[in-house]
Amino acid sequence: MAAPWIAPSILSADFARLGEEVDAVIGAGADLVHFDVMDNHYVPNLTIGPLVCEALHRRGIKAAIDAHLMVRPVDRIVPDFARAGATYITFHPEATEHIDRTIELIREHGCRPGLAFNPATPLDYLDYTLEKLDLVLIMSVNPGFGGQRFIPSALGKLEHVRRRIQASGRDVRLEIDGGVKVDNIQAIARAGADTFVAGSAIFGSPDYAATIRAMREQIARG
Ligand code: DX5
Ligand code: ZN
- Contact assessment for residue 116 and residue 197, using Cβ atoms and an 8 Å cutoff: no
Q: How far is the CA of 132 from the centre of ligand 1 (A)?
A: 25
Mean pLDDT of 165-185: 98
The pLDDT assigned to 1 comes to 83
Residue 15 pLDDT exceeds 90: yes
Provide residues with CB under 6 Å of ligand 1.
9, 11-12, 34, 36, 68, 141, 143-144, 146-148, 177-180, 197-201
Q: Model pTM?
A: 0.98
CA distance 63 to 160: 29
Residue minimizing CA distance to atom 1 of ligand 1: 143
Closest-lying ligand 1 atom to the alpha carbon of residue 38: 6
Mean pLDDT of 109-130: 98
Q: For a substitution probing ligand 1, which of 45, 177, 180, 188 has the most ligand atoms within 8 Å of its CB? A: 177
CATH match of 5-220 with 3.20.20.70: yes
- Contact assessment for residue 185 and residue 218, using Cβ atoms and an 8 Å cutoff: yes
The pLDDT assigned to 114 comes to 99
Mean pLDDT of 69-90: 98
The pLDDT assigned to 46 comes to 98
DSSP 8-class letter at 206:
S
29 pLDDT band, cuts 50/70/90, is: very high
Contacts of residue 166, defined as CB under 8 A and 6 or more positions apart, other chains included, come to none
Q: Is 177 a catalytic residue?
A: yes
Mean pLDDT of 17-40: 98
**Local structure of 34: helix, strand or coil:** strand
The pLDDT assigned to 193 comes to 99
Q: Is 194 a catalytic residue?
A: no
Q: What is the DSSP code string of the chain? A: -PPPEEEEBGGGS-GGGHHHHHHHHHHTT-SEEEEEEEBSSSSS-B---HHHHHHHHHTT-SSEEEEEEE-SS-GGGHHHHHHTT-SEEEE-GGG-S-HHHHHHHHHHTT-EEEEEE-TT--GGGGTTTGGG-SEEEEESS-TT-SSPPP-THHHHHHHHHHHHHHHHTS--EEEEESS--TTTHHHHHHTT--EEEESHHHHTSS-HHHHHHHHHHHHHH-
The pLDDT assigned to 210 comes to 99
> Mean pLDDT over all residues of the chain?
98
Residue 214 pLDDT exceeds 90: yes
Domain boundaries, the chain: 5-220
Mean pLDDT of 112-132: 98
Mean pLDDT of 169-197: 98
The pLDDT assigned to 164 comes to 98
Around ion ligand 2, residues with a beta carbon closer than 5 Å are 36, 68, 177
Which tens digit of pLDDT belongs to each residue from 30-75?
999 999 999 999 999 999 999 999 999 999 999 999 999 999 999 9
Question: Within 10 Å of residue 40's Cβ, how many Cβ atoms?
Answer: 12
